[in-house]
Amino acid sequence: MGILENKFQDNIIVAKLDQILSWARSTSPWYFQFGLACCAIEMMATAASRHDLERIGMMPRSSPRQADVMIVAGTVTMKMALRVKKLYEQMADPKYVIAMGSCATSGGPYTPHGYHVLKGVDLIIPVDVYIPGCPPRPESLIEGLIKLQEKIRHERPLTRKNVS
Amino acid sequence: MNVDVAKKLTEVFPGCLVEQDEFPETHIQLQPDQWSKIASYLKETEELSFDSCMCITGVDFGEEDDLESRYNLHSMKHNHKIEVRISANRKKPIIPTVSHVWQIANWFEREVFDMFGIKFKGHPDLRRMLLPEDWVGYPLRKDYVGPDSYHGIIIPKVKEVWE
Ligand code: SF4
């Protein structure tokens, strides 16, 4: 706390509840860690000490129940596609998906002849941010995650929509 | 080594080789019927001792042609190796299993079955290895055409242009 310590009396912050909620959500989106192929190595590198994802509030969870963001890092095979879908359904709302690498966005090097590869995760689950690259560098992944945080920050979950 | 072993096999198992003018240097082309017995013979005979099955490969020679299964055998004891080839009819590809001779052949044969559809007769557990169990067709065959959808997931042949 340093310079802020012992400087104030009891405080009140006035803000929109919506804003505070989205701000809180956006600064700690825990991600669901599972790697499917080579891209997973970059994701691990991003989470490790050099790039350190935890400084932007993201930490890996191993269970879909505890995760907010699913980073699909790698080639999604047809066999895995059914499981990815199931895992997405097991995540609690609000949930977000990041398609990392060209495999997850479009099938990548396996388009159009890879008989066993899903041609983009957006065919089975909704994707929020696409990160191109084969594999994307940790910097690109972080940029994508910050984009996602921006997106979450601009959400207004409590505001009623379609007022007629 | 291939030639020596081929000569020996003709003595012990007459008619086990596919008729050829001369024994090729690179491989031994066998008939499928006695393969199980020959495999045990190759492993157990003292001066051959092929105790290691290094690899089993499937080959497809084209839509009109046969399938083939290739075995790379190696002897730790004598440090020599051979390649055995057995072809199988495309319509009815059946080859006897050797999984009881070399344990590793169990998984190799499952993989060849998965990709080429060669049925290994007598295999204890001939299921698909890599693809999902309900997959249709054998993808490494030349005449394979991929499915249009899998469990309701569309498999686009060409992805539409991004907007
Ligand atoms: S996009 Fe490239 S690096 Fe990433 S999983 Fe696909 S092939 Fe591997």
CB atoms within 10 A of CB B4: 13
Sequence-ordered list of residues with C-beta below 8 angstroms from that of B5, at least 6 positions apart, any chain: B28, B42, B48, B82
User: Does A132 sit behind a cis peptide bond, omega within 30 degrees of 0 on the bond before it?
Assistant: no
pLDDT, residue A2, reads: 81
- What is the domain count for chain B? 1
Q: Is B159 within a domain?
A: no
With contact defined as beta carbons under 8 Å apart, do B7 and B18 qualify? no
Mean pLDDT of chain B: 87
Q: Is B136 within a domain?
A: no
Mutate to test the interface with B, among A115, A121, A125, A127 (most CBs of B within 10 A): A115
With contact defined as beta carbons under 8 Å apart, do A38 and A68 qualify? no
Cβ distance of B139 and A116 shorter than 8 Å: yes
With the C-alpha atoms ordered A153, A157, A160, A161, is the resulting torsion angle positive or negative?
Answer: positive
pLDDT, residue B34, reads: 87
- Closest in B135, B144, B153 to A123, CB measured: B153
Give this prediction's pTM: 0.81
With the C-alpha atoms ordered B126, B131, B137, B141, is the resulting torsion angle positive or negative?
Answer: negative
Alpha-carbon distance A124 to A87, whole Å?
Answer: 12
pLDDT, residue A164, reads: 60
Our CA-based measurement puts residue A119 at a distance from the nearest CA of chain B, in whole angstroms, of 7
pLDDT, residue A163, reads: 62
Cβ distance of A116 and B131 shorter than 8 Å: yes
Q: Is B48 within a domain?
A: yes
**Cα-based angle A31, A33, A34 (whole degrees, multiple of 5):** 145
Cβ distance of B150 and A78 shorter than 8 Å: yes
Give the Å distance between the CA of A107 and the centre of ligand 1. 9
Length of chain B: 163
Strand partners of residue B71: B56, B84
Q: Is B10 within a domain?
A: yes
Strands A96-100 and B67-75: unpaired
Q: Residue A85 to residues A70, A132, B67: CA-CA distances in angstroms?
A: 11, 21, 37
Q: Is B152 within a domain?
A: no
Helices (H) and strands (E) in chain B, counts: 3, 8
Regions of chain B with pLDDT less than 50: 162-163
Q: Residue B112 to residues A158, B93, B95, B123: CA-CA distances in angstroms?
A: 56, 11, 11, 12
pLDDT, residue B160, reads: 58
For B51, the domain range is 5-130
Judge whether B136 is closer than 8 Å to chain A, CB to CB: no
Mutate to test the interface with B, among A75, A76, A77, A78 (most CBs of B within 10 A): A78
Q: Which residue of B has its CA nearest to A111?
A: B158
Of A2, A74, A84, A81, the closest CA to residue A43 belongs to A74
Q: Is B139 within a domain?
A: no
Q: Is B24 within a domain?
A: yes
Residues of A in contact with B143 (CB under 8 A): none
pLDDT, residue B163, reads: 44
The domains of chain A, with CATH numbers, are 30-153 (3.40.50.12280)
CATH of residue B57: 3.30.460.80
With contact defined as beta carbons under 8 Å apart, do B99 and B124 qualify? yes
Q: Is B145 within a domain?
A: no
* Per-residue tokens: B148: 């249009």
Q: Which residue of A has its CA nearest to B150?
A: A78
> Tens of pLDDT along B115-161?
999 999 899 989 998 998 888 889 898 888 888 888 888 887 665 55
Judge whether B146 is closer than 8 Å to chain A, CB to CB: yes
Alpha-carbon distance B89 to B92, whole Å?
Answer: 5
Regions of chain A with pLDDT less than 50: none
With contact defined as beta carbons under 8 Å apart, do A157 and A94 qualify? yes
